[in-house]
């Protein structure tokens, strides 16, 4: 199990996610907040659980890929 961030953009009612999967909901939440602040076209974000394997870790230095 992992957690992902989903983003709502402009006038589109569909939630979109990328391939980043985090070990904790907190990591996904912090990533989502950072993402929405950088994307001018985004209007909301949320975190969801995923059956995908964890592949990223969010550290104080940024994203770290997990092999």
30 — pLDDT class (breaks 50, 70, 90): very high
Nearest to 24 by CA among 43, 49, 60: 49
Domain-wise residue ranges, the chain: 2-56
The answer, yes or no, to whether residue 67 has pLDDT greater than 90, is: no
| 52 contacts 4 by C-beta, under 8 angstroms | yes
Q: How big, in percent rounded to 5, are the helix, strand and coil portions of the chain?
A: 20, 45, 35
The pLDDT of residue 7: 95
């Amino acid at each position: 199990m992992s957690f992902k961030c989903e983003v709502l953009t402009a006038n589109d009612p569909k939630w979109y996610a990328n391939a980043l999967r985090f070990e904790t909901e907190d990591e996904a939440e912090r990533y989502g907040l950072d993402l929405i602040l950088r994307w001018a076209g985004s209007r909301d974000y949320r975190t969801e659980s995923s059956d995908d394997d964890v592949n990223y870790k969010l550290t104080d230095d940024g994203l770290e890929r997990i092999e």
